[in-house]
Amino acid sequence: MVKSIEEVEAAILDKAAKWKKPQLYLKNFCECDPERSPRDVRKIADGLVSKKKLVHWCTGGSMMYVLPERLKDEEKR
């Protein structure tokens, strides 16, 4: 059964908060709802970026997502 968008958003934010590294790839978020396509999960994650709950983190050719508070911790290092 496909989860609702709100359930997937909550799962993404929970995973981002508990992940061992601050940055997560889209494929990490796809595990939150394996029945959704990666494109749908990207739309949900980008929606969280629009709501300022996540931010994009770019490393050359890779696009990752980070919680804003974890990004600040990473920049202090």
User: Which CATH number do you get for residue 21?
Assistant: 1.10.10.10
- How many helices (DSSP H) and strands (DSSP E) are in the chain? 4, 2
CB 40, CB 32: distance < 8 Å: no
Query: What range does the domain containing 37 cover?
Result: 5-76
Model confidence pLDDT, tens digit, residues 12-70? 999 999 999 889 999 999 999 999 999 999 999 999 999 999 999 887 888 899 999 88
Q: Write out the H or E segment, with its range, that includes residue 16.
A: helix 5-18
* Domains identified in the chain, total number: 1
pTM, two decimal places:
0.86
* Alpha carbon distance 9, 58 (integer Å): 21
